[in-house]
Amino acid sequence: MHKPFYRDFKLGILGGGQLGRMLVQSCIDFNVRTHVLDPDPLAPCSTNCDIFVQGSFQDFETVLDFGRQVDMLTIEIENVNVHALYALSAQGVAVFPQPHVIGLIQDKGLQKQFYATHGFPTSSFQLLETGSDLSSYSGAFPAVLKWRKAGYDGKGVQLFKQQPEQNWYTDRPCLLEQCLPIQHEIAAIVARNQDGACSIYPLVEMVFDPKANLVDYLFSPARISDSIANEINKIALAIADTLGIVGLLAIEFFVDTNNEVFVNEMAPRPHNSGHHSINANVTSQFEQHLRAILGLPLGDTRILSPSVMLNILGQPNHTGLAHFEGIEDILGISGVCLHLYGKVKTAPYRKMGHLTIIDEHIDQALSKVEQIRKRLKVVSAENL
Amino acid sequence: MHKPFYRDFKLGILGGGQLGRMLVQSCIDFNVRTHVLDPDPLAPCSTNCDIFVQGSFQDFETVLDFGRQVDMLTIEIENVNVHALYALSAQGVAVFPQPHVIGLIQDKGLQKQFYATHGFPTSSFQLLETGSDLSSYSGAFPAVLKWRKAGYDGKGVQLFKQQPEQNWYTDRPCLLEQCLPIQHEIAAIVARNQDGACSIYPLVEMVFDPKANLVDYLFSPARISDSIANEINKIALAIADTLGIVGLLAIEFFVDTNNEVFVNEMAPRPHNSGHHSINANVTSQFEQHLRAILGLPLGDTRILSPSVMLNILGQPNHTGLAHFEGIEDILGISGVCLHLYGKVKTAPYRKMGHLTIIDEHIDQALSKVEQIRKRLKVVSAENL
């Protein structure tokens, strides 16, 4: 196997979205060459990786062929063909995170069973087979129905405030979770390397846009007590150790109105909730993922400054060639760091980029968020 | 002209070295496509820019052809064909920094005359034509002889402690400068945008390796009094304004043992002395250069943490395929941020990368520098 630092080491990345794009940016600093597989020829990675391969990361043969060209394989999306990863692993290709971790996390049902089996606190839930009736659910309402597989950014998620009046059948295997009275949504970014060393970033707090069902903004550090933070840190590190993951693991938590902590869900990769780390922490989550999978010591996760991260989303009702209204203007706001994802076309709530606002005072940063929201709009010329 | 942020805007960069490579990394975040011209097919930019063109940035026709393909042209090395830049500018290609600025700075003699003409303090000097005898120098010794053009990183620089005993003739136009009793060497990084707005980074202090005649390490912020810092800031901003430069301008200063300030020399581009800004300041010098030339508001230059920047140099007596001894090890030192330049071959004192050490205490960071120096060696397998 080639070694990193020598420009001949090839890292394969399944998925060519913004997470891959920012991972590639970190690879440059480590002399790591990148091969990226994505079905979209205009994917965010297509312009900045070394070799871009157009193809489906869900297709067995495609992933197998792609994986054989590289020294190590990683992911930037978990919805990949895990059978191909097992096959490549058996053939001696290093695959991090490991196929068993990706397989478990791909299935929200298995994820919940994992938390329950190992005693990690999570909301009560029930698994529903394809075609089963919602009336078979014995838990309390409101409840959230989620596809077990392939749900993403609000896709495959439905809220039921009460038992539906008419019979309601699931069209695929689903997970039904009881809703909690949420006080805080917290993200923990953990890394675990090949030696089993673990590190965790200072916790971040997420604020959701209920319309888009996406993270609207997050701030770091989270505004929670030390005792709650300690409890979350302990659970997050224990989950990484129990999984034995090599790589980055993002875990979302709920803190309910009784200050009780619940694991919501996890992703075995860099995550939207860690984007601020590029500008506001010593080591970015992308470099940390790289250090973990390459068998290197983990980096310093310390905060350099409090910060707020804001997703730049496509305006609702706008589809087509993207136009960034007001972008020159908001770059004049002090502490604003811009990261665009190279997407040519916008769509409603599409993630087109993000901004990190560096400010010692979170309140001041949040007032800048309000200014930015008024001025910056991603629209399409066709819809103006 | 295409606009930045839309992925169709093409920035041409003359020179494909590490400065270009890090500039390309910033371009990714702004959806700016990059075309790079460099004679070396293995140049640091060759793997991370959008379009790499192998060719000489000193050749008139090559630069002209290259410049016609892009929306805007900039440099990462000043030793380029400035006649081609004038021609392109006349044909409507945006060239930043402007040809007159590059032309002036290319010639260390014109630079010195510029300081003298505008009353910026600089050491006394004399210009020598090709073939003139050193005995024609009427100033004091020790003195430094510098080629007026094309000197670089110690090349074309010679120290004379006293008048040579035998006749000594210059082989090309030179500048002879009186040496100062130096207390501090300080770098100021200024940016000026198309609107004439200026910003300056907190000053950094450089420590030179006398053997390599290169910056060994630098620390930010500089350990100088506020009054000296204010004086340097004032001069640096006035120089940028007088030049009318659009882009980044790095200015090196001497503070002598009487606490007097002298301008040493300047470079109209990102500079080795600003590398720490990638990790330790809100806006990196590379993004700042981009903001300046693209006509955007300048970014926040604030320090997030004190830091030390250390060049990773090839060991003396080692030439050939690079091997980074101890690199895994030093990545375990807290606060170490690695940036490799993708160079396959090492050579004595060749800049192979740099490290920024983030630490609240400069003394602690400097003791880490000592550890790193003992452990990290860039050697060549052929010389082991």
Average pLDDT, integer, range B12-24: 98
pLDDT digits (tens, 9 = 90+) for A149-189: 977 666 788 889 988 888 888 889 999 999 999 999 999 99
Chain B residue numbers with beta carbons less than 8 Å from the beta carbon of A334 are 300
pTM of the model: 0.95
Could you give the CA distance from residue A82 to residue A89 in angstroms, rounded to a whole number?
A: 10
User: What is residue B1's predicted lDDT score, i.e. its pLDDT?
Assistant: 55
Of residues A280, A282, A342, nearest to B358 (C-beta) = A282
DSSP letter at A273 equals G
- Asked if B292 and B298 count as a contact pair (C-beta separation under 8 A), the reply is yes
Bigger pLDDT: B190 vs B169: B190
Contacts of B334 in chain A (CB under 8 A): 300
Average pLDDT for A345-372: 95
For chain A, the residue count is: 384
pLDDT above 60: residue B339: yes
Instruction: Give bridge partners of residue A309 from the DSSP assignment.
Output: A218, A356
Mean pLDDT of A101-121: 97
Whether residue A328 and residue B282 make contact (CB cut-off 8 A), yes or no, is no
The arithmetic mean of pLDDT across residues A294-300, rounded, is 97
In this structure, the number of other CB atoms found within 10 A of the CB of residue A128 comes to 20
Q: Could you give the CA distance from residue B45 to residue B291 in angstroms, rounded to a whole number?
A: 20
Residue range A50-103, pLDDT digits in tens = 999 999 999 999 999 999 999 999 999 999 999 999 999 999 999 999 999 999
Mapped onto helix, strand or coil, the DSSP state of residue B107 is coil
Mutate to test the interface with B, among A23, A29, A307 (most CBs of B within 10 A): A29
Q: For residue range A313-338, what is the model confidence (pLDDT) as tens digits? A: 999 999 999 999 999 999 999 999 99
Return the SS3 of A301.
Answer: coil
- The crossing angle, in degrees rounded to 10, of helices B108-117 and B99-106 is 100
Query: Cβ(A172)–Cβ(A146) under 8 Å?
Result: no
> Scanning the structure block, which residue is given the tokens 């390309």?
B24
Per-residue pLDDT reduced to its tens digit, B29-43: 999 999 999 999 999
Q: Which of A2, A3, A5 is the best substitution to test chain B (most B C-beta atoms within 10 A)?
A: A5
Name residues whose C-beta falls within 8 Å of residue A21's C-beta, 6 or more positions apart in sequence. A44, A45, A48, A341, A342, B28
In the predicted structure, residue B4 carries a pLDDT above the cut 90: no
Residue A152 CA neighbour count, 13 Å, CB half: 10
pLDDT of residue A199: 98
Residues of chain B with pLDDT > 90, as a percent, come to: 85
Please state the rounded mean pLDDT for residues A199-223.
Answer: 89
Interface of A with B (CB under 8 A): 5-7, 21, 25, 28-31, 33, 47-48, 50, 279-280, 282-283, 291, 295-297, 299-300, 302, 304-305, 322-324, 327-328, 331-332, 334-340, 342, 344, 358
Question: What type of residue sits at position A284?
Answer: S
At A11, is the pLDDT very low, low, confident or very high (cuts 50, 70, 90)? very high
User: A7 and B47 in contact by Cβ < 8 A?
Assistant: yes
Portion of chain A with pLDDT greater than 90, in percent:
86
| Pick from B75, B67, B70, B79: nearest CA to B96 | B75
Confidence band of B165 (pLDDT split at 50, 70, 90): confident
Residue B85's pLDDT is 98
Q: In chain B, count H helices and then E strands.
A: 10, 21
Q: Rounded mean pLDDT of A120-143? A: 90
Report the relative pairing of strands B204-209 and B214-220 from DSSP bridges. Answer: antiparallel
Q: What backbone torsions phi and psi does residue A251 show, to the nearest 5 degrees?
A: -125, 125
Q: Which long-range contacts (CB under 8 A, 24 or more apart) does A372-376 make?
A: A372/A310, A372/A330, A372/A333, A372/A336, A373/A310, A375/A325, A375/A326, A375/A329, A375/A330, A376/A312, A376/A324, A376/A325, A376/A326, A376/A327, A376/A329, A376/A330
- Looking up tokens 């200026």 gives B198
CA distance A168 to A174: 13
Report long-range pairs for B225-228 (Cβ below 8 Å, ≥24 apart).
B225/B259, B228/B255, B228/B259, B228/B261
Give CA–CA dist A326/A330, Å, rounded.
6
Q: What is the reported pLDDT for A152? A: 67
**Residue B209 — pLDDT band, cuts 50, 70, 90?**
confident
Which residues of B sit within 8 Å Cβ distance of A? Answer: 5-7, 21, 25, 28-31, 33, 47-48, 50, 279-280, 282-283, 291, 295-297, 299-300, 302, 304-305, 322-324, 327-328, 331-332, 334-340, 342, 344, 358
Cβ of B334 within 8 Å of Cβ of A300? The answer is yes
The whole-number pLDDT of residue A287 equals 98
Out of B25, B296, B331, whose CB is closest to A28?
Answer: B25
The closest CB to that of A304, out of B29, B305, B339, belongs to B305
- Could you give the ipTM of this predicted complex? 0.94
Length reported for chain B:
384
